[in-house]
């Protein structure tokens, strides 16, 4: 059975990683971009440059999180993003 994960959880995980790696205490917005074919959703923790990323693949029910350097740090399997 798939677990649900919210956009707030995605934002919290990305912020936690960024703040831990940089010593900052930022609070940023989370942007969501959907691919036209609905094969994936890209989440971006806002900033210049972006402070973190998430890629959700609904068909596989996988969410991968990446830090600001593009290094993967967390994988959620069997999840549905709400």
DSSP track, 39-70: S-EEEEE-SSS-SEEEEEETTTTEEEEEETTS
Whether the full predicted model's pTM is greater than 0.85, yes or no, is: yes
For 11-41, what is each residue's pLDDT tens digit? 999 999 999 988 888 889 999 999 888 899 9
More confidently predicted of 1 and 14: 14
How many domains would you assign to the chain? 1
Instruction: Determine what percent of the chain is predicted with pLDDT higher than 90.
Output: 79
Domain that holds residue 27: 3-81
């Amino acid at each position: 059975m798939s677990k649900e994960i919210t956009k707030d959880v995605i934002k919290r995980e990305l912020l936690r990683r960024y703040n831990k790696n940089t010593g900052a205490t930022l609070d940023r917005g989370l942007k969501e971009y959907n691919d036209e074919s609905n094969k994936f959703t890209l989440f971006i923790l806002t900033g210049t440059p972006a402070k973190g990323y998430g890629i959700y693949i609904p068909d596989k029910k996988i969410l991968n999180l990446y830090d600001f350097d593009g290094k993967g740090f967390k994988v959620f399997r069997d999840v549905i993003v709400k």
